Amino acid sequence: MDKKLKIVARVGYGAKGSVYALTGILAFMTAFNLGGQKAGKLQIIQFLEEQSFGKIILGILGIGLICYAVWRFMQSLSDPEGIGSDSKGIAKRISFFISGTVYLALGMFSIIEIFKDSSSRKNSSNFGDYSTHIFIAIGIALAIKSIYQFIKVYKGDFLKKLNISEISSVTRKKNLKRIGYAGLISRGIVVGIIAYFFIEGGINTSSASEEMKGTTEAFSFIQQNTSGPWIFGLVALGLICYGIYMFTIAKFRSFDD
């Protein structure tokens, strides 16, 4: 595989990890009244923009997310690692393409925010009068994605793409696997709740015309349906773990040439 493509992939994994880690940190702080906020990917971008050197940070993040999108598109279209064209391979490559589309949009949003006048920014994420069938289709796709996270946890083979031999410490390897478990479980929970929102919106036509619900609303759902901050805090901590897991992939991932 081309060395430049490997660098693009590693930069992309690092950028994705940054988004998830920040999402988890801010949510964890909110759970225990330490400040923070319940933020999805778009809110994370807006949060970063408000920080010192925010536009520089957004530029770096945007490029990183676009790199991740390029890597996913290459996996989908060029198949550099030989995933194949059987039914399982095609399903994976379609999911890679969808993932690439999402992160390309997110990366472009980050770049656009650098040059956008804050006074012209719209806070509405209204979905408009979209067909209920689209909502249900998105919900089913997200539900499958959620289930897939738990399947990866069940199989426990999510580290197989890493050069584990480069990690000499046995304790570090065990901790890395625990971090991966926690991250995948939390991501599965959050994505599953968002899937529920979309399916409910598709079935209930009045909900389908309301604002699109995402990570922020998923956090609120967890907070409102559990007693105390602990479950919300654990899910937030799990997303931090998922971010760390992405950083680990960025550093140690092996590529099938």
Residue 87 lies in a domain: yes
pTM comes to 0.84
The total number of structural domains that make up the chain: 1
Domain that holds residue 80: 3-117+126-252
Residue 257 lies in a domain: no
Which neighbouring-strand residues pair with 253? 162
pLDDT in tens, the chain (257 residues): 788 999 999 999 999 999 999 999 999 998 888 877 777 776 787 778 777 777 888 899 999 999 999 999 999 999 998 888 899 899 889 999 998 998 998 889 888 878 876 555 444 444 444 456 777 887 888 899 899 999 999 998 888 888 877 777 788 888 999 999 999 999 999 999 988 888 887 777 555 445 556 778 888 888 888 777 889 999 999 999 999 999 999 999 988 76
The secondary structure of 195-254, three-state, reads: HHHHHHHHHCHHHHCCECCCHHHHHHHHHHCCCCCHHHHHHHHHHHHHHHHHHHHHHHEC
What span, in angstroms and rounded, lies between the C-alpha atoms of 39 and 45? 9
- The length of the chain in residues reads 257
